[in-house]
Amino acid sequence: MRYDKCRKLFTKFEKLQNLNVLICGVGGVGGHTLECLYKSGVKNITIIDYDTFDITNQNRQIGSEYLKEKKVEVLAKLYPGIIPIDKKLTPENIKNINFEKYDIVIDAIDDIKAKISLIISAYPKIISSMGAAKRIDPTKIKIDSIWKTQNDPFAKKIRYELKKAKFKGDFKVVYSSEKPIECDMGSFIGVTGTFGFALCSEVLKKFV
């Protein structure tokens, strides 16, 4: 019995090691998704981002102590073996990405036009992050269909754009049911980090 349990655990870990993941956007949400996947045994990870670390990132982003350095380059040093791609994702260049070689695509970008293009192009391999800004309660974070989110204006906008593009598919998103609070604060690491871990969890549940 003990041998069978060990063999099952090894088989699951082997699946994770062979998984091929693409993370689009490695800011507050995507960076924590990377951390969680990497520490869980996933080694075949490609990250795409074009931004550099700014002082305003230091409240929530992994690697943000390396001011003015490229995010993908810093994270490639912190997580040896991952593949960094320094590129701004646009609707035009998203069409040129070969999504076939990835088992799962994680969308952690904010630009709406690029996000819609990414969702449509990578579907059905996509898992997407919705609005994490101006929330302070990580216990309100949920995983559900894009068509079933509540109290998330960003998700509502994404649904509107998907309908306009005549997209009829269904996919999982991480979102918060907490109503955005009225404040000048951007994002809280307790929420963005939990978003990232929730995305990671969804990958593990899907493939283990």
- Position 6 scores a pLDDT of 47
The neighbouring-strand residues paired with 174 are: 129, 143
% the chain with pLDDT above 90: 80
- Position 172 scores a pLDDT of 97
Q: Would you say residue 13 has pLDDT above 90?
A: no
**Residue whose token pair is 């969702």:** 119
What are the phi and psi torsion angles at 142 (to 5°)?
-135, 165
What are the phi and psi torsion angles at 79 (to 5°)?
-125, 80
> How high does pLDDT run on average in the chain?
92
What are the phi and psi torsion angles at 80 (to 5°)?
-55, 135
Cα–Cα distance list, 69 to 44, 45, 54, 55, 80 (Å) = 23, 20, 8, 11, 17
Q: Would you say residue 167 has pLDDT above 90?
A: yes
Give the single-character DSSP code of 88.
-
List CB contacts of 43: < 8 A, sequence separation 6 or more. Answer: 17, 81, 82
Its CATH architecture, for the domain 12-207, is 3-Layer(aba) Sandwich (3.40)
Least confident of 76-90, 103-117, 174-188: 174-188
**Model confidence over 45-86: pLDDT tens digits?**
999 999 999 988 888 889 999 999 999 999 999 999 999 999
- Position 187 scores a pLDDT of 87
Rounded CA separation 64/192 (Å): 14
Report if pTM > 0.85.
yes
How many other C-beta atoms lie within 10 A of the C-beta of residue 37?
Answer: 28
Rounded CA separation 84/76 (Å): 6
Rounded CA separation 159/161 (Å): 5
- What is the rounded (10 degree) CA torsion for 46, 153, 157, 26? -10
Q: Would you say residue 125 has pLDDT above 70?
A: yes
% the chain with pLDDT above 70: 93
Rounded CA separation 117/90 (Å): 8
- Position 9 scores a pLDDT of 46
Rounded CA separation 130/168 (Å): 18
